[in-house]
Amino acid sequence: MALRNILTKEQPLLYKKSRTVTDFNPRLHQLLDDMRETLLSANGVGLAAPQVGVLRRAVLVIETNVPEGEEEYVIELINPEIVETSGEQDGAEGCLSVPGEYGLVKRPMTVKVRAQDRYGKPFEVEGTGLTARCFCHEIDHLEGIVFTSKADRMLTEEEMRAAVEEE
């Protein structure tokens, strides 16, 4: 495994649409393993392949909604599609490609995603709260959409300081 560089918002590649994954081969597995290491080392909750410079429809999301005493785990989503949403949440969102900035973005409260695993096997997964937000945010990356374009507004430095102190 190896760490990959995370592109930042100035880089045009982040605004391009990613292509469907058709080969579930060792090269894809290497990409996913590297993305996992990169995500964990950056302390993020999600990462999309275009963020590491690969325009392929693959994302990782950490499921943080786990019962007390159980470990968070990484969900790998290849060719993900949102098939159902419900409810709404309005809250602060950030991105590893936009370090130090947060914006208020409305997202569904619950999201069901259909995707394939690293071997091409289809599955469905549902997420709520932060996980739902993350599914939407990462799938947006595959369309070349960065959250700043969807934010109602960005947080001020003062608001960010207050949010950090709350934690």
Active site residue 167: no
Helix, coil or strand: residue 124:
strand
Residue of 10, 81, 88, 138 marked active site:
138
Distances (CA, A) of 88 to 3, 4, 108, 111, 130: 35, 34, 4, 10, 12
Closest by CA position to 57, among listed 82, 40, 38, 74: 82
**Shortest Cβ 13–Ni ion spacing (Å):** 13
Would you say 8 or 25 has its CB closer to Ni ion? 8
Residues that bind Ni ion (CB under 5 A): 95
**Shortest Cβ 68–Ni ion spacing (Å):** 28
Would you say 17 or 27 has its CB closer to Ni ion? 17
H-helix or E-strand containing 126? strand 122-128
Would you say 21 or 147 has its CB closer to Ni ion? 147
**Shortest Cβ 67–Ni ion spacing (Å):** 27
* Residue of minimal Cβ distance to Ni ion: 95
**Shortest Cβ 88–Ni ion spacing (Å):** 20
Would you say 16 or 121 has its CB closer to Ni ion? 16
Residue 84 in contact with residue 53, Cβ under 8 Å?
Answer: no
Residue 43 in contact with residue 102, Cβ under 8 Å?
Answer: no
CA–CA dist 120, 66 (Å, integer): 26
Active site residues: 138
